[in-house]
Amino acid sequence: MATATTELDLNDPRRRPPLVTGEQDLHSITETVSKIAERPKPPRAWYVAFAIASSLTLMFFSLIGYLVYEGTGIWGNNSPVFWAWPIVNFVFWVGIGHAGTLISAILFLFRQNWRTSINRFAEAMTIFAVICAAIFPGIHVGRVWFAYWLFPLPSTDLAMWPNFRSPLLWDVFAVSTYGTVSLLFWYMGMIPDLATFRDRATGKIRKMLYGIFSLGWTGSARHWSRYEIAYGLLAALAAPLVLSVHTIVSFDFAVSQLPGWHTTIFPPYFVAGAVFSGFAMVVTLMVPAREFFGLKDLVTMRHLENMNKIILATGSMVGYAYAMEFFIAWYSGNGYEQFAFVNRAFGPYAWAYWTMVSCNLLAPQLFWFRKVRTTPWMMVVICIFVNIGMWFERFVICITSLSRDFLPSSWGYYSPTKIDVLMLLGSFGLFFTLFLLFCRYLPIVAMSEVKAYLPDAQPHGDDHH
């Protein structure tokens, strides 16, 4: 595509630019997306990535085995920092998932049609991120074989219930609801595309498996009608989940009385941060994926630019929350609160704090420049910085407040063990393993949804987008 003409089209407010570029028709979209999963062998890069990712996953599960055998003493968690990397990793991974839900639910309700090219991809990431997230609190309980006590099951041998007033219990409900709805949404949206794979499948096994999972979809008008209703309902159900999950995660901290944790802006601040990191992860993975799998006409520069704008917006909201916390810490006149923030910026964890500030606040501000928003390598670099920054944000919140609370005599300095580091690495391995399998076997772009927004599919022409 000649970039000069597309840019002119993109900016002309008199007409909406097409969502996909190139001479696309219904068939070419099917071909482009299906052949990714149909080719007998994926590109060599896929094998290399899969080898690394699956090895890390293996290491992750071995370490979990070791943890179960040996106990949580293998981690760096110790007085006064009992909530350390496992909780940091949990919050980080839950946050990553939020882009998928925002794209599939909220952007759908806002009729942001450009989302159709990226929603499948982002929704898949949501599922994988929730899986990674759920593992950490699950193993953090120590005696993993009692993890089911998290659920309010009628107890036969304990004669007690979980504490319903604890946001930790609300987390169990919030994250499991989130995981369930996200999985349903993702799977249901995929049924028409799975049916396409089934119809094109050549091998017997492929035909059977895709056949089972496409649930007998024929594409009849009745199927579509029900599909659209279910889609709208699930979107409406998932929209509040975008807010609720990270709100409740923020409650884990904010309901306490600990300086640096207890502040009223936490709920919306955490939600903005989650969407911020989630979008950064989508861009990080989308840029190489569209390159390797030849999706540049479906996931266009405009899609990436829009995502970068959302990163800039949500990153600025996070910056706003930092500023409010700092201002009110001073304004409140509360000495402990002031200490918590001065300690963050200039105490023993200043290195983590300034890593967070430069990655989260400064880096995304570069997206004010169109050049940065539209240059793939630049956006990937910034998005990786954002993800580093968002991991450090949770580290700063969690560790600095716990390590130095009200009593100087109970202060301490937390250091992770090697196992902590390897388990974080291992969770990335699990995430990428699942992601690579998804790229190999499932429709990574929602073909049927993209097709609905081709110019030919619009009976009334340009006036309706």
Partner 1 sequence: MNHPIQANSSELQLGSAADKLLRYGAAVGGGGLVVALIGAAIHTDGWRRLQFAYLTTFCYFVSLVLGCLFLVALYHLTRTGWGVVVRRLAETVSVLMVPLAVTALPIVLSVIAGSGQLFPWASAEAQATDHLIQHKAPYLNATFFTIRALVYLGVWVALARFFWSRSVQQDATDDVQLTLRMQAVSAPTMFAFGITLTFASFDWLMSLSPHWFSTIFGVYYFAGCVVGALALLIVMTRALQASGRLTHTVNVEHYHDLGKLLFGFTFFWAYIAFSQFLLIWYANIPEETIWYLKRMENGWQWVSLLLLFGNFLVPFLGLMSRHVKRTPKLLAGWAAWLLVMHWVDLYWVAMPEVLPSPSIGLTELGCLAAFGGLLVAAWSKVAAKHALIPVHDPRLPESLAFHVPY
- Asked whether position 266 contacts partner 1 by CB under 8 A, the answer is yes
* Single residue of 1, 3, 8, 12 touching partner 1 by CB under 8 A: 12
Q: How far is the CB of 195 from partner 1 (least distance, A)?
A: 21
Which CB atom, from 183 or from 324, has the smaller least distance to partner 1? Answer: 324
CA distance 387 to 405: 28
Q: How far is the CB of 465 from partner 1 (least distance, A)?
A: 7
* Single residue of 169, 255, 362, 366 touching partner 1 by CB under 8 A: 255
What is the dihedral sign for C-alpha 57, 270, 113, 176?
positive
CA distance 130 to 267: 19
Tell me how far the alpha carbon of residue 457 is from its chain's centroid.
31
CA distance 123 to 103: 8
Residue from 312, 314, 286 nearest 300 by CA: 286
- Asked whether position 185 contacts partner 1 by CB under 8 A, the answer is no
Please enumerate in sequence order all residues whose Cβ is within 8 A of that of 71, keeping only pairs 6 or more positions apart, or say none: 142
Q: How far is the CB of 450 from partner 1 (least distance, A)?
A: 16
Binding mask 310-349 for partner 1 (x = CB under 8 A): ---x--x---xx--xx--x--xxxx---------------
Contact call for residues 264 and 324 (beta carbons, < 8 A): no
Angle at 431 between CA 425 and CA 437, to 5 degrees: 135
- Asked whether position 163 contacts partner 1 by CB under 8 A, the answer is no
Please enumerate in sequence order all residues whose Cβ is within 8 A of that of 199, keeping only pairs 6 or more positions apart, or say none: none
Sole window of 30-38, 138-146, 380-388, 457-465 interacting with partner 1 (rule: CB under 8 A): 457-465
Sole window of 135-143, 250-258, 279-287, 377-385 interacting with partner 1 (rule: CB under 8 A): 250-258
* Single residue of 71, 240, 288, 412 touching partner 1 by CB under 8 A: 240
# chain residues binding partner 1, by CB under 8 A: 40
CA distance 132 to 116: 25
Contact call for residues 139 and 68 (beta carbons, < 8 A): yes
**Residue in this structure with the two tokens 């094998």, named with its chain if needed:** 47
Tell me which residues in 71-130 interact with partner 1 (CB under 8 A).
109, 111
Which CB atom, from 17 or from 162, has the smaller least distance to partner 1? Answer: 17
Please enumerate in sequence order all residues whose Cβ is within 8 A of that of 176, keeping only pairs 6 or more positions apart, or say none: 134
Which CB atom, from 139 or from 272, has the smaller least distance to partner 1? Answer: 272
**Residue in this structure with the two tokens 């861009």, named with its chain if needed:** 283
What the block records as the tokens of 228 is 């659209």
* Single residue of 59, 243, 366, 381 touching partner 1 by CB under 8 A: 243
- Asked whether position 262 contacts partner 1 by CB under 8 A, the answer is yes
Please give the residue ranges that form the binding site for partner 1 (CB under 8 A).
11-14, 16, 109, 111, 228, 232, 240, 243, 247, 251, 254-257, 262-268, 313, 316, 320-321, 324-325, 328, 331-334, 368, 460, 463-465
